[in-house]
Structure 1
Amino acid sequence: MKRIFELTTSDIEGLSKQNLKEIIKNSEGRTVVSENIVSCSPFIREVSNLELSAAFGADMITLNTFNFEKPFISGIDGVIDLLSGFDEEKIEKIIKDNLNNKDYIRNIRKLIGRIIGVNLEPVPEGSSYNSGYCLNDNNLLKVKEYGFDYIVITGNPNTGVTEYTIEEGIKLAKSILGNGTLIIAGKMHGAGSGNIYDEETIKRFIDAGADVILIPAAGTVPGFDLELAKKMIKLIHENNALAMTTIGTSQEGASKSVIETIALNSKMAGADLQHIGDCGTFGMALPENIMTLSAAIRGIRHTYRRMAQSILR
């Protein structure tokens, strides 16, 4: 079985959830997950943030603010430039085509050669949050139709998401997606409502159907240190789930030394996956920080190979 940083585009196509889970587990804490805000202009105008994340060493790429009702990924489908204007009619046509194209995400996966997931917000009933971003029946059916490899059930700022809405969201996702899509769930910061450090809550998430539990990386939120991270990850592993530590507090735009410290602490804590957030600049981590994270947990040899595999099929 290949490790995650050895997978080519052809390896990824048709990869089952169980195989993906085993590959991550067997990669011994060396999986890099990059989150991208897909609704803003890309860091480099001539290339999408997804391609840039892949080029700097990401294995998995999570789409944030992906609108299932108006699917448009900036840099892939074009760039909406508010300063110089944009062709509204052309963009509407692209969105319509994307809505009707079952291979929309599958084609993007072929383009960048990486495992692709999406954030879904389990907002409370009555929320005015954009329904295209929310965890609901229609969007979950679209997840299945488009062929996303995984979903992340979490809370962006000002969403009102709580541990209870996450738990119910996991149950709904499991009922619709079954065993076809990896489910990642948890909270990485204080967005929504409160942080989740409670052991019983983690167990409930796993019992509800989560395959991976996400927690803040040590040093990213106040009071969350290495010992607490180790304790949480031990609990997650004892309950047969994987653990993902996250940098979701804009430290994805911090110095390389900060990234290296967080990465090594997460590895010492036992993390199976390490996530780097989308607010370093222009909807993604600083590209060099993705590479720094990769090199810290798997060295230059595997990092450079991963970077070169952006062009391998």
Structure 2
Amino acid sequence: MQRILNCRTSDFAQSVSGSELRQAIVACEGRTIMAEVAAGAAPLYGEVTNGELLCAFGADLLLVKGMDCHSQSIQGCRDLKHFKALTGRMVGVSLEVLADEATDNPRACNLANLDRITGADFLCLTAYDKPGVTAQRVCEAVQQMRAQTSKLILVAKFYAAGLACAEEYAGYITAGADGVMVPAPASCRGASETRVDAALAAIRQAGGLAITTISSSQEGADEETIRQIGLASKRCGADLYNFGDAGVAGMADPQAVYTLSLAVRGRRHTWVRMAASLAR
């Protein structure tokens, strides 16, 4: 697979391994953007899905959050397969890591749900600050998923107190993940460039993708704030920038995606991504 910046719809339609997709992102040298879409949120504008809007403003990859793995329903379209066809992008699915496998939960991280979402191009194991959802529990979930799939696996472990220690993030790579999300500088309490830099360095040293995420509602911040967060993330060595779903209507503000794209990769790559036809 060529670098993500040069990929078009025909490239994104191919089936690739996690290692191939990881290398395609690394090859972009910190110029890849991913954006989340809340599956249950009504589209901002009824004529298009939120995913289409995000792609129109420069997103390279999409991550569907909160999807029922049984129905695979996404507001504004029929299902995950239809969503991929409409956007022309690689689409990942977020599975929530809970204190146990929660086999009756259609959104949880377990083998039954993994078997249902064969159409997903990659996975994100998302873990919130809940009782029993420890770093060890997340590592166990990563190991379980890795034993069953060669697809790209990302980890997003969030804490109310802010960042975890750098060693914890590196530990997810050792457990089998391909990349780990860390709060972007200034995106949460205590997320200084120094701390984020140390966390990303540990992830890269362990062999993983270093990802910064704006997931604290600053997805809807003003352009200058987004620009500064993006440039700080790039200074820290981020391979990939992720936007959460709390900007507007279950996604980042599309203008925020455009602003970040201009800041970290300029007009050429931004406008080409926005203009490229789905027929390519």
What is the TM-score when the length of structure 1 is the normalising length? 0.83
The AA in structure 2 aligned to 1:197 is A
Asked if structure 2 preserves the Cα contact closer than 8 Å seen for 1:33 and 1:60, the reply is yes
TM-fit CA distance, 1:156? 4.9
Q: Which residue of 2 aligns with 1:184?
A: 154
Change (3 A) 1:298 1:189: farther
The AA in structure 2 aligned to 1:134 is A
The AA in structure 1 aligned to 2:153 is I
Q: Which residue of 2 aligns with 1:304?
A: 271
1:164 maps to 2:136: yes
What is the TM-score when the length of structure 2 is the normalising length? 0.93
Q: Which residue of 2 aligns with 1:87?
A: none
Q: Which residue of 2 aligns with 1:92?
A: none
Asked if structure 2 preserves the Cα contact closer than 8 Å seen for 1:40 and 1:74, the reply is yes
* Distance in 2 of aligned mates of 1:114 and 1:121: 22
* Distance in 1 of aligned mates of 2:48 and 2:106: 25
Match of 2:94 among 119, 129, 133: 119
TM-fit CA distance, 1:232? 1.0
Equivalent residues in 2 for 1:37-116, closer than 5 Å? 37-77=38-78, 104-105=80-81, 107-116=82-91
TM-fit CA distance, 1:182? 0.2
Asked if structure 1 preserves the Cα contact closer than 8 Å seen for 2:26 and 2:239, the reply is yes
* Distance in 1 of aligned mates of 2:174 and 2:128: 24
Change (3 A) 1:20 1:307: same
SS at match of 1:131: coil
Q: Which residue of 1 aligns with 2:13?
A: 13
Spell out, residue by residue over 1:273-296, the C-alpha distance to the aligned partner (whole angstroms, 9 max, x if none): 000111101101111111111111
Asked if structure 1 preserves the Cα contact closer than 8 Å seen for 2:101 and 2:109, the reply is no
* Distance in 2 of aligned mates of 1:160 and 1:196: 18
Match of 1:295 among 259, 262, 265: 262
Asked if structure 2 preserves the Cα contact closer than 8 Å seen for 1:188 and 1:246, the reply is no
* Larger of the two Rg values belongs to structure: 1
TM-fit CA distance, 1:200? 3.0
Spell out, residue by residue over 1:61-117, the C-alpha distance to the aligned partner (whole angstroms, 9 max, x if none): 00011101232110112xxxxxxxxxxxxxxxxxxxx6xxxxx53x43233111100
* Distance in 1 of aligned mates of 2:250 and 2:42: 8
* Distance in 1 of aligned mates of 2:53 and 2:133: 30
Match of 1:271 among 238, 247, 252: 238
Higher mean alpha-carbon deviation, 266-275 vs 162-171, is at 162-171
Equivalent residues in 2 for 1:91-240, closer than 5 Å? 104-105=80-81, 107-125=82-100, 131-143=105-117, 145-146=118-119, 148-156=120-128, 161-177=133-149, 179=150, 181-190=151-160, 195-240=162-207
Asked if structure 2 preserves the Cα contact closer than 8 Å seen for 1:187 and 1:195, the reply is no
SS at match of 2:147: helix
Change (3 A) 1:156 1:66: farther
TM-fit CA distance, 1:213? 1.1
Aligned residues: 279
Change (3 A) 1:250 1:273: same
